[in-house]
Amino acid sequence: MKKLINQVENVVKEALMGVEAAHSDVVRVFYEPDFIVRADAPVKGKVGIVSGGGSGHEPLHSGFVGVGMLDAACPGEVFTSPTPDQILAATRAVNGGAGVLHIVKNYTGDVLNFEMAAELAQADGINVTSVIIDDDVAVQDSLHTAGRRGVGITVIAEKICGAAAERGDDLKVVADLCRQVNANGRSMGMALTSCTVPAAGKPTFDIGNNEMEIGIGIHGEPGRDRLPITTADEITAMMMETILKDLPFEVGDETIVMVNGMGGTPMMELYVAYRKVAKICQAQGITIARNLVGNYITSLEMAGMSISILKVDEHLKALWDAPVRTPALRWGI
């Protein structure tokens, strides 16, 4: 294993200290239990928004804490969900009296830990609503699985809900918006290489030089199919076909599209993929109203990408365009 780290067991904490050192104008960092809040938290009378998950997906979630997005993020160990004490402490720290929304990616660990924290916060008299994001079309949604995973749409949901909370929407409205985004968003990912969890010390899976993993999640967990590598255009087309027919997205739809790097993919390659995404959307009469191309929800140093598409209306577009000021996403202020 070759990584830019000191001690394996200090990676998460030292990264947090780095965030604190770099962005103290936007966020405050707490330790033991670890969580990050926006600098002016709690904001009185505003719905607080808390998310969290395993570390290793940066900038998700710590990079999205700030005005117009998350009030708090709870980072777990690498690829391990945060624990209830962290989530509870973050929930208390951002409770401005208008209730708190938990945005939870659909992984068994995340769901169980957020559920325990929400029960404890409710017992404290804090009104908590949880919305689970499950946008990954690579996973069959049936009674026989843990359900679809939460991936790229989480980023878009955090932005849109953050904007709604900032303008003063109440908890029910913000939670309903989160559900609306989840219901209208779909994602899929693929990997060219594995990633190495620092504590494990070796790649999570073996993959040949001529192979790719389609339908990968964000934890280096194996995907749906192992296929021979092909061109960016063919890979993009394959993923787009699955995503578009799942909702389905139809002629005349307006969308926000994110082409996201898994951590080890050059921007150049992401733009090659985005070019094909734009072509396919144009050919199918789907408008890309807004886009994000870059590394927003990563899987350590994995090479690969994911595509997320959200069907939007004027209302969602306006919330997307609203000012945001976080370490990783900033416009309007």
Catalytic machinery residues: 57, 219
Give first-to-last CA distance, the chain, whole Å. 41
For the segment 150-209, give every residue that binds other proteins (CB under 8 A). 197, 199-200, 204-205
3-class secondary structure per residue, 27-40: EEEECCCCEEEECC
> Of these, 122, 140, 287, 291, which contacts other proteins (CB under 8 A)?
140
Our measurement of the distance from residue 228's CA atom to the centroid of its chain's CA atoms, rounded to an integer in Å, reads 28
Closest approach of other proteins to the CB of residue 145, in Å? 4
The reply on whether position 146 binds other proteins by CB under 8 A is yes
CA-based nearest residue to 117, from 108, 107, 106, 130: 130
Contact, 74 vs 87, CB < 8 A?
Answer: yes
The reply on whether position 115 binds other proteins by CB under 8 A is yes
Considering only 17-25, 43-51, 108-116, 306-314, which stretch makes contact with other proteins by CB under 8 A? 108-116
CA-based nearest residue to 110, from 151, 153, 62: 151
The amino acid present at 184, given as its one-letter code, is N
The reply on whether position 217 binds other proteins by CB under 8 A is yes
Q: How many residues contact other proteins, by CB under 8 A?
A: 37
The amino acid present at 154, given as its one-letter code, is T
The amino acid present at 62, given as its one-letter code, is S
Binding mask 10-49 for other proteins (x = CB under 8 A): -----------------------x----------------
The reply on whether position 113 binds other proteins by CB under 8 A is yes
Residue 37, both tokens: 């809040």
Closest approach of other proteins to the CB of residue 144, in Å? 5
Give the Cα separation of 124 and 217 in Å (integer): 35
Contact footprint for other proteins (CB under 8 A): 33, 54, 76-85, 107-109, 112-113, 115-116, 138-140, 144-146, 149, 197, 199-200, 204-205, 217, 219-222, 224
